[in-house]
Amino acid sequence: MTRLFEDSEIPLAPGAVVLREFASGEELLPLIEAIAVAAPFRHLVTPGGHTMSVAMTNCGRLGWTSDRKGYRYSPLDPETGLAWPAMPEAFTRLAREAAERAGFPGFAPEACLINRYAIGAKLTLHQDRDENNYDHPIVSVSLGVPAVFQFGGTKRTDPLKRVTLYHGDVVVWGGEARLAYHGIQPLKEATHPLTGACRLNLTFRKAG
């Protein structure tokens, strides 16, 4: 029998592919811990004055940050005044291999945003529009406690679909999925053997 997709490669929407269990938590989690020593997780303030429930940090040449003045990519961590920690080779390789599997060869991210969700933390429906070139995909990696991800179309009012993202899942968002509205519902009470009562998400981006 010929199949269009492997069982582990699930098309979510046109341009979006889930690669189940593509990432290794054992490999990635110690690297995230080391990044957070140099660039601690922090709760950013939005331009509207809300403090985000998700804690964030970055690695790579550029990092995503927010304050009362707006959202931007910055080469310096505003908290420490230092460059963000370098992107580990294992991160770059994982992002490139996942993108290639989804049909985007040669993906070379320069920014990796690291989101940390405690129980109850959420990410309101939004588009990722702070990058300069939407031809590049975004690669996301989920670790730890599962979360309900919701996504729609390019209008906030488009109908939403929901999918649970589990430890090790990698999703590649390219093509027409790149500008889809998306968010994370409040994290439900649970623990994972490698992360405890916490979810981590990496998003690899080509910012410039």
115 binds, among Fe ion, ligand MD3, none (CB under 5 to 8 A by kind): ligand MD3
Binding of ligand MD3 by 58 (CB under 6 A): no
Of the pair 177, 198, the CB lying nearest ligand MD3 is at 177
Of the pair 81, 124, the CB lying nearest ligand MD3 is at 124
The strand pair at 111-118 and 198-205 is best described as: antiparallel
Shortest Cβ 16–ligand MD3 spacing (Å): 7
Residues 146 and 165: beta-carbon distance below 8 Å? yes
Of the pair 36, 171, the CB lying nearest ligand MD3 is at 171
Shortest Cβ 183–ligand MD3 spacing (Å): 7
Residues 205 and 148: beta-carbon distance below 8 Å? no
Binding of ligand MD3 by 99 (CB under 6 A): no
Q: Which residue minimizes CB distance to ligand MD3?
A: 201
Positions 107 through 146 that interact with ligand MD3 (CB under 6 A): 113, 115, 123, 128, 138, 140
Residues 29 and 194: beta-carbon distance below 8 Å? yes
Residues 186 and 122: beta-carbon distance below 8 Å? yes
Give the 3-state secondary structure of residue 54.
coil
**CA separation for the pair 170, 165 (Å, rounded):** 9
Of the pair 175, 194, the CB lying nearest Fe ion is at 175
Contacts of residue 50, Cβ cutoff 8 Å, sequence gap at least 6: none
Residues 132 and 199: beta-carbon distance below 8 Å? no
Of the pair 38, 175, the CB lying nearest ligand MD3 is at 175
Neighbours of 46 (CB within 10 A): 14
Binding of ligand MD3 by 65 (CB under 6 A): no
Sites of contact with ligand MD3 (CB under 6 A): 113, 115, 123, 128, 138, 140, 149, 151, 171, 173, 177-178, 180, 182, 184, 201, 203
